[in-house]
């Protein structure tokens, strides 16, 4: 049996009735978190660009752009909404051999669910399946090491969730996986060096392509055979070696992958979350935020994946754009020490180009620590922050599992607080509360179009 057939068999045969209650609740939490992130990113330049692009798809379309009265085609809605979910780098994360932001899938699933007027429980099932497929692919193999971006796996996870919602046969699912996968290989250059707006748009593109492939397969289009095992397939051209997927599906109520993913407390790349937490603890011990001039130097001991992704490139010491700043471990840590925490304002141009703050970043050293690799990612994302003052005093804090990590999950009240913070920037208080009430009732909605009614800017 091929890997695509394995995925198809799982996606086509899991039912909503098999989902434990805590998995259903977790799916609702991720929709709330994702919609909040979209609202927080509404005014960003990439969000404006993506909405403008979506509007070009013409009149008479049925699918919503979150926050807008405009409608567009399903694939463009997946793109526009996906950009907003991802842009702030505030949506959820999964860490394994390959990192991922599995809530990126929700944009594609929403587009299909709305277009076909599906109920909320169908959307929840699609979310659980997409999380399962993407996270298991991340468990199986690191394509980052081969020069490919993690969103490449989104070509398969989005289709698995979308096809399941539409009741695909296994054959239809295999065709859709082939269509999406054949053109879904994204280069890792997206996240190397000085970053760009595309960093937050890359999975949205995978969502768009996944929706398009799903619709083609629904209409009867066949896809390339043996997308993974073929002579010119994934194993020979992308991973350059064969791998097996860890078991998909239910062993027990705790085995679903959505339960093993992490909601972010701070709007920054996930490997920095424990560094921010440690910096906040140091500020509390110090009694107040630090003046740049009182610090002699800072050392950040981190694990190898963190060093490679957010702590090893020279561009991280003088970020030129928001996208690089929120992927800079030295900048993020210094900002937390000087400002007391990290917020969306941390990534305003006026802040990440502030010469006083950058002078502190220049005195910061990031060191990979092999001992910390021993617990990553199963036991946490360990960062050790050491701050040495000019008066000789030294502060040091280590954090392994920051709030939001699967080992230290955020509670529902914290998720609602985050939603209110983000959505409240552009929606009225009444709209925010109505949206929250609707989203918590997702499993009871007869038509997911109800989600969009209160979320109009």
Name the residue with tokens 């000789």: 392
Non-local CB neighbours of 449 within 8 Å, separated by 6+ positions: 64, 114, 117
| Percent of the chain's residues with pLDDT above 70 | 100
User: For residue 72, what are the β-bridge partners?
Assistant: 63
Is 270-399 CATH 2.120.10.30?
A: no
**Radius of gyration over every alpha carbon of the chain, rounded to an integer in angstroms:** 22
Residue 169, φ and ψ in degrees, nearest 5: -75, 165
- CA–CA gap between residue 315 and residue 359 (Å, rounded): 15
- Burial degree of 142 (CB within 10 A; 0-12, 13-18, 19+): middle
The tens digit of pLDDT for each residue in 19-37 reads: 999 999 999 999 999 999 9
pLDDT of residue 1: 78
- In the DSSP assignment, the letter for residue 344 is G
Strand, coil or helix: 431 = helix
* Each residue's pLDDT tens digit, 187-237: 999 999 999 999 999 999 999 999 999 999 999 999 999 999 999 999 999
Where in the sequence of the chain do the CATH 1.10.4100.10 domains occur? Answer: 3-263+432-453
Distance CA 270, CA 100 (A): 10
Q: Which residue has the tokens 């567009």?
A: 72
Supply φ then ψ for residue 185, to 5 degrees. -90, 110
Looking at every residue in the chain, the average pLDDT score rounds to 96
- Domain 3-263+432-453, CATH: 1.10.4100.10
Of all helices (H) and strands (E), which one includes residue 138? helix 120-140
pTM: 0.95
pLDDT given at position 59: 67
Alpha-carbon distance 51 to 46, whole Å?
Answer: 9
- Which residue numbers in the chain have pLDDT < 50? none
Q: CATH 3.30.1330.120 occupies which residues in the chain?
A: 270-399
Tokens standing for residue 359:
């002078």
pLDDT in tens, 284-302: 999 999 999 999 999 999 9
Helices (H), 41-105: 45-55, 74-86
Look at residue 453 in the predicted model and tell me its pLDDT: 85
């Amino acid at each position: 049996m091929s890997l695509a057939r394995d995925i198809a068999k799982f996606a086509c045969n899991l039912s909503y009735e098999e989902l434990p209650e805590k998995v259903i609740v977790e799916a609702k939490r991720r929709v709330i978190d994702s919609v909040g992130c979209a609202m927080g990113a509404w005014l960003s330049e990439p969000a404006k660009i993506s909405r403008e692009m979506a509007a070009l798809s013409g009149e008479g379309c049925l699918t919503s752009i979150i926050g807008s009265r405009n409608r567009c085609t399903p694939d463009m809605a997946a793109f526009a909404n996906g950009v907003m979910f991802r842009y702030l780098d505030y949506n959820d994360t999964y860490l394994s051999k390959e990192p991922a932001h599995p809530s990126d899938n929700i944009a594609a699933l929403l587009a299909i669910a709305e277009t076909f007027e599906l109920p909320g429980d169908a959307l929840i099932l699609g979310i659980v399946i997409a999380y399962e497929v993407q996270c298991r692919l991340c468990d199986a193999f690191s394509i980052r090491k081969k020069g490919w971006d993690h969103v490449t796996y989104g070509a398969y996870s989005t289709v698995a969730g979308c096809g399941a919602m539409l009741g695909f046969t296994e054959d239809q699912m295999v065709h859709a996986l082939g269509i999406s996968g054949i053109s879904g290989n994204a280069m890792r250059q997206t996240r190397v060096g000085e970053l760009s707006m595309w960093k937050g748009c890359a999975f949205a593109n995978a969502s768009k392509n996944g929706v398009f492939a799903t619709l083609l397969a629904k209409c009867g289009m066949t896809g390339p055979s043996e997308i993974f095992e073929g002579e010119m397939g994934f194993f020979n051209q992308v991973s350059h070696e064969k791998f097996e997927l860890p078991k998909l599906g239910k062993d027990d109520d705790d085995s679903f992958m959505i339960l093993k993913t992490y909601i972010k407390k701070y709007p920054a790349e996930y490997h920095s979350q424990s560094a921010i937490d440690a910096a906040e603890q140091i500020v509390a011990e110090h009694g107040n935020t630090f003046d740049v001039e009182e610090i002699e130097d800072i050392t950040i001991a981190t694990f190898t994946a963190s060093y490679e992704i957010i702590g090893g490139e020279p561009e991280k010491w003088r970020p030129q754009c928001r996208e690089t700043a929120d992927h800079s471990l030295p900048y993020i840590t210094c900002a937390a020490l000087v400002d007391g925490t990290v917020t969306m304002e941390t990534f305003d141009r006026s802040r990440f180009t502030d010469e006083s703050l950058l002078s502190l970043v220049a005195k910061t050293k990031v060191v990979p620590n092999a001992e910390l690799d021993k617990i990553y990612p199963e036991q946490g994302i360990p960062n050790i922050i050491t701050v040495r003052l000019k008066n000789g005093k030294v502060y040091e804090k280590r954090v392994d599992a920051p709030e939001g990590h699967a080992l230290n999950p955020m509670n529902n009240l914290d998720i609602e607080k985050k939603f209110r913070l983000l959505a409240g920037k552009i929606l009225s208080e009444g709209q925010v509360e109505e949206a929250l009430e609707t989203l918590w009732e997702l499993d009871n909605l007869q038509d997911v179009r109800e989600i969009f009614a209160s979320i109009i800017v």
